[in-house]
């Protein structure tokens, strides 16, 4: 029905190969090689531009597979999408993504996309960038405090979705009238957040991988600076902010583990008073149960790792007006470091790594000069 070039020539966040492999919010069908005699469900997952997905019912029992271009029901008309998931995993995905229903029923898959459908789809895609630029100009003329981040045309070119970002509520009734008169299509405005916009655009995070909001995250929860405080991360806004200028979502990934580990930790805002001096908190080694303290008047090089149990004990003594003799108990003091044994063995008869560090042999030079002089002497008769 279609060629791979029909998809490869479209650079708009769709799958790049016919087998349905895509980067944004892709789901691996690990049950694809398991053959079942019964068809458990006839609902398929269909991907559209960037991270938009929806679920449709295969009422005509078409022989579909991942990567097929299909014409699906829309309101009004029809849309063109790519089948991204089939089988029993669709039910699990529907629990995460609420499917859009019409009168309580799933939308339908009409047919496999025809060449005429694909040609019209390509024409619609080619209009998206120009429409987005023109709509931004219209928004500026109407002095609306909003930003149109993306435009997505429906497959039949009868409707377009305008994704916008706005801090406050915007009255865009006049904008819809102007856009409808300018482009002669049905207009739908959809507000998205900064995190959703970053997921639609995509990018590489500081970890070297694609950002999570464009690969697997679909539900965004609030992230506060307390997440960095619990994990003892430096409160540097440039380090904590992601590409969306919001706090990174990955700050919440290990937050629950850190909170559980610090449930019985003593407070850190109180200095430790001992007979040898006053010690101030610097940082924590959460999973080893250690606090790092420095003594008042000394540089940061003079640091002490104190178990949290010993910290709680000293704080309790300080509240009673007492001071311990030393910061660490004898059993808490770290053992002296032993010299690590040499692990290098010349097993392949190669030269030692330090062979060039040894001084040269002076007798070798004398021997070489003697041989040179002997060659120059004439032979005796």
3-state secondary structure the chain: CCCCHHHHCCCCCCCCCCCCCCCCCCCCCCCCCCCCCCCCCCEEEEECCCCCEEEEECCCCCCCCCCCEEEEECCCCEEEEEEEECCCHHHHHHHHCCCCEECCEEEEEEEECCHHHHHHHHHHHHCHHHHHHHHHHHHHHCCCCCEEEEEEECCCCCEEEEEEECCCCCCCHHHHHHHHHHHCCEEEEEECCHHHHHHHHCCECCCCCECHHHCCCCCCCCCCHHHHHHCCCCCCHHHHECCCCCECHHHHCCHHHHHHHCCCCCCCCCCEEECCEEEEEEEEECCCCEEEEEECCCCCCCEEEEEHHHHHHHHHHHHCCCCCCCCCCCCCCCCCCCCCCCCCCCCCCCCCCCHHHCCCCHHHHHHHHHHHHHHHCCCCC
Q: Which residue has the tokens 């655009």?
A: 201
* Average pLDDT by stretches of 10, the chain with 381 residues: 46 44 66 67 87 88 89 90 88 82 86 92 93 94 91 92 90 92 93 87 87 83 89 86 90 92 91 91 90 83 87 93 85 59 59 63 64 63 45
Beta bridge partners, 345, equal: none
CA dist., res. 25 & res. 79, Å (int): 20
Q: Return residue ranges of the chain for CATH 3.30.300.20.
A: 127-195
Count CB atoms within 10 A of the CB of residue 96: 10
CA–CA distances in Å: residue 376 to residues 33, 54, 364, 372, 380 = 84, 94, 19, 7, 12
Which pTM value belongs to this model?
A: 0.67
Residues belonging to the chain: 381
Q: Is the peptide bond before 76 cis (omega within 30 degrees of 0)?
A: yes
Buried b (16+ CB within 10 A) or exposed e, 307-325: bbebbebbbeebeeeeebe
The architecture (CATH level 2) of 127-195 comes to 2-Layer Sandwich (3.30)
Q: Which two tokens stand for residue 33?
A: 């090689």
Asked if 325 and 274 count as a contact pair (C-beta separation under 8 A), the reply is yes
Quote the pLDDT of residue 313.
92
Quote the pLDDT of residue 146.
92
Asked if 184 and 134 count as a contact pair (C-beta separation under 8 A), the reply is no
Quote the pLDDT of residue 312.
93
Q: Which two tokens stand for residue 128?
A: 């998206």
Quote the pLDDT of residue 219.
78
């Amino acid at each position: 029905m279609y060629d791979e070039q029909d998809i490869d020539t479209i650079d708009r966040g769709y799958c790049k190969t016919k087998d349905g492999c895509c980067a944004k919010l892709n789901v691996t069908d690990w049950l694809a090689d398991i053959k079942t005699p019964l068809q458990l469900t006839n609902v398929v997952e269909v991907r559209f531009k960037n991270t938009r997905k929806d679920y449709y019912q295969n009422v005509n029992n078409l022989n579909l597979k991942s990567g097929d271009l299909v014409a699906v029901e829309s309101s009004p008309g029809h849309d063109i999408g790519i089948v991204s998931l089939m089988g029993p995993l669709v039910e699990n995905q529907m629990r995460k993504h609420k499917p859009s229903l019409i009168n309580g029923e799933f939308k339908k898959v009409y047919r496999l996309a025809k060449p005429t459908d694909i040609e019209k789809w390509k024409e619609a895609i080619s209009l998206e960038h120009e429409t987005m630029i023109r709509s931004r100009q219209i928004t500026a003329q109407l002095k609306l405090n909003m930003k149109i981040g993306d435009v997505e045309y429906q497959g039949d070119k009868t409707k377009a979705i305008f994704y916008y970002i706005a801090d406050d509520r915007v009255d865009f009734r006049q904008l819809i009238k102007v856009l409808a008169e300018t482009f002669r299509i049905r207009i739908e405005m959809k507000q998205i957040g900064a995190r959703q916009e970053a997921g639609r655009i995509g990018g590489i995070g500081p970890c070297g991988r694609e950002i999570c909001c464009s690969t697997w995250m679909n539900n965004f929860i609030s992230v506060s600076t307390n997440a960095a405080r619990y994990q003892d991360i430096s409160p540097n806004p440039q380090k904590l902010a992601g590409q969306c200028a919001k706090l990174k979502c990955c700050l919440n990934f290990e937050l629950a583990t850190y909170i559980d580990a610090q449930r019985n930790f003593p407070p850190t805002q109180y200095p430790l008073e001992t007979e040898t001096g006053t010690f101030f908190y610097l940082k924590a080694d959460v999973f080893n149960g250690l606090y790092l303290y420095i003594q008042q008047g000394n540089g940061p090089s003079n640091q002490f790792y104190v178990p949290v149990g010993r910290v709680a004990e000293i704080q309790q003594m300080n509240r009673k007006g007492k001071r311990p003799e030393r910061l660490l108990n004898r059993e808490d003091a770290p053992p002296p470091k032993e010299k690590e044994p040499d692990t290098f063995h010349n097993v392949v008869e190669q030269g030692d790594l330090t062979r060039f560090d040894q001084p040269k042999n002076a007798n070798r030079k004398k021997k070489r000069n003697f041989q040179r002089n002997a060659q120059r002497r004439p032979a005796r008769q």
